[in-house]
Amino acid sequence: MMEDFQQLQQTVESCTRCDLCQGRHHVVFGTGNPQAKVMFIGEGPGEQEDLKGEPFVGRSGQLMDKMLEYVGLSRKTNIYIANMVKCRPPQNRDPSKDEVALCIGYLRNQVYLIRPKVIVCVGRIAATALISPTYKVTKEHGTFVERNGTLLMGTFHPAALLRNPDNKSAAMEDLFRLRDKLLELGLLQPEEPEHNC
Q: What is the pLDDT of residues 13-68, one digit of tens each?
A: 999 999 999 999 999 999 999 999 999 999 999 999 999 999 999 999 999 999 99
Would 193 be classed as within a structural domain? Answer: no
**Which pLDDT value is given to residue 188?**
94
Query: Taking 90 as the threshold, does the pLDDT of residue 140 lie above it?
Result: yes
User: Where residue 88 falls among pLDDT bands split at 50, 70, 90?
Assistant: very high
Query: Residue 117 class from Cβ within 10 Å (0-12 exposed, 13-18 middle, 19+ buried)?
Result: middle
Q: Is residue 77 part of a domain?
A: yes
Tell me whether residue 189 is in a domain.
Answer: no
Distances in Å between the alpha carbon of 174 and those of 12, 18, 101, 102, 141?
Answer: 31, 34, 28, 30, 7
Confidence band of 196 (pLDDT split at 50, 70, 90)? low
pLDDT-derived band at 192 (thresholds 50, 70, 90) equals low
In a domain, 151, yes or no: yes
Element (H, E) at 61: helix 59-70
**55: in domain:** yes
Which CATH number does the domain housing residue 130 bear? Answer: 3.40.470.10
User: Is 196 part of a structural domain of the chain?
Assistant: no
197 domain-assigned: no
Whether the predicted pLDDT of 194 surpasses 60:
no
CA distance 171 to 87: 26
The verdict on residue 195 lying in a domain is: no
| pLDDT level of residue 189 (50, 70, 90 thresholds) | confident
pLDDT beyond 90 at 6: yes
Look at residue 169 in the predicted model and tell me its pLDDT.
Answer: 98
Question: What pLDDT is recorded for position 193?
Answer: 54
Residue 168 confidence (pLDDT):
97
Other Cβ atoms within 10 Å of 1 Cβ, number:
8
Please tell me whether the overall predicted TM-score, pTM, comes out greater than 0.75 for this model.
yes
Q: What is the mean pLDDT of the chain?
A: 95
Mean pLDDT value across residues 93-104: 96
Q: How many CA atoms lie within 13 A of 56 on its CB side?
A: 28
Domain ranges, residue 123? 5-184
What is residue 191's predicted lDDT score, i.e. its pLDDT?
A: 72
Question: What is the number of structural domains in the chain?
Answer: 1
